[in-house]
Chains A and B, each alone.
Chain A
Amino acid sequence: MFNLEDFDIKLDTDYIGRNFVYAEEVDSTNGVLMNSAYGFNDHGSVLLAEKQLKGRGRQNRTWQSQKDLNLTFSILLKDQSLFTSGFTLLVFGAANVVAASIENLYQLRTEVKWPNDVLVNGKKVAGILIESSSQGQKIVRAVVGVGLNVNQQAFHGQFQIQPTSLKNELNQNIEREVLLAEILNIFEEMLGKYKTEPEQILKDWRMRCRMIGEKIDVNDGKNSRHGIFDDVDENGTLLLRTEKGIEKINFGDVSIR
């Protein structure tokens, strides 16, 4: 059971999580917040669900999470001033936030995998999926969905990267209330930084990315490309150095060769 009082004491934000909804079960926290018919319209609203029936990743992949043990939540963004051409930086900003929260609270060494998986000891502890909708060119709504493995110990299935949880890495139970409050506190700080010094977001991200300079494979579902992870550009697009020159890549699964 998620203790709302313990969470509320630690939450130190102006607007992120101030409208907070705790649900036993939903199809997908992103799906609920994206659909305005559910009535979530306040900027910074957070929906935490103990169980998602249709938790998802990109390209119709699923996110599986055992009930009551982890954090699966979404944050609604409605502030139009965030929705500039550099909006994709939030993909990286969100990964920084989850990684920094884990470091602050548990002194674990984290790393980020392009674009925004969070790893601990080389294993995946969190995935992030951002969805937005635009009317024509104008983005009107965005939702940052986070799946974070906290106290789950066993993972069954086939995975591209071996999953882990904070409990598995620390050998102790984690207070989810404290962790979620920390993430939301830092998330609000990150949004401020995104507005005033957006270049800092990719700088922070690069510090935690250990793949830059390495030989990598990028699989886009159809083809696999090989090269050296040269850098990311100002949008976060991966720059892959190949025999033909620099290729720009904005989706795909990256792995070290």
Chain B
Amino acid sequence: MDINLIKKLVKLVDESGVTDLEIEQEGIRIKIAKKIRTVQGFDAAQLMPPSIPVSYKDSVSQSAGEENLSVKVEKETDVHEIRSPIVGTFYRAPAPDADSYVQVGDSISVGSVLCIVEAMKLMNEIESDVSGKIIKILVDNGKPVEYNQPLFLIKLS
């Protein structure tokens, strides 16, 4: 759990007119809420321009300084990540003109082939180690991947 990031989020909410902030990214949901005192009969929400919650989200992810928030606050335990075992190039199909092994929404079981990662002349076929449904494919076909980089999110069945 990245305590510093949560502190930053709490500070941002605290210093603003926002009462509730909820961020969900790649299976991780963070919710921060505060009680607002209403002054002179105004509801705090009425003081806020409607665009604020949106720009808020932006400033939060900027302050995190990276695209993938690594916070694990309410990590949904039924979402499983498939990560790359090697550095290489990610392929969703066995050959350039072939169909992809899997699509978002597909149900898969243990042993279903998901993709190939190629490094030099080493072709590694990645099979699923769980059963479930593919909810996200995190890398585009033909893009480089690092060792341990998440490739698929699978909702466990």
Stretch of A6-14, A135-143, A211-219 with 4 or more beta carbons under 8 angstroms from chain B: A135-143
A-side interface residues, number (CB < 8 Å) = 33
- Docked CA distance A132–B119 (Å): 11
Which A residues are CB-close (under 8 A) to B126? 133-134, 136
Contacting residues of chain A (100-157) with chain B, CB-CB under 8 angstroms:
114-116, 128-139
A-contact bits for B17-46, CB 8 A (1 contact / 0 none)? 000000000000000000000000000000
A-contact bits for B118-155, CB 8 A (1 contact / 0 none)? 11111111111110000000000000100110000000
- Docked CA distance A176–B48 (Å): 82
Which B residue sits closest to A34, measured CB to CB? B125
Q: Is A236's CB within 8 Å of the partner chain B? A: yes
B-side interface residues, number (CB < 8 Å) = 28
Which A residues are CB-close (under 8 A) to B87? 85, 88, 235, 237, 250
Which B residues are CB-close (under 8 A) to A250? 87-89, 118-120, 144
Given contacts A58-B121, A85-B148, A130-B121, 17 further A-B pairs with CB under 8 A are A58-B118, A59-B96, A91-B121, A92-B120, A116-B120, A130-B123, A131-B123, A131-B124, A134-B126, A136-B82, A136-B130, A137-B83, A139-B124, A235-B87, A236-B120, A237-B120, A250-B88
9 pairs of A and B residues whose beta carbons are closest in the complex = A136-B129, A115-B120, A130-B122, A135-B129, A88-B119, A91-B120, A132-B124, A133-B125, A137-B83
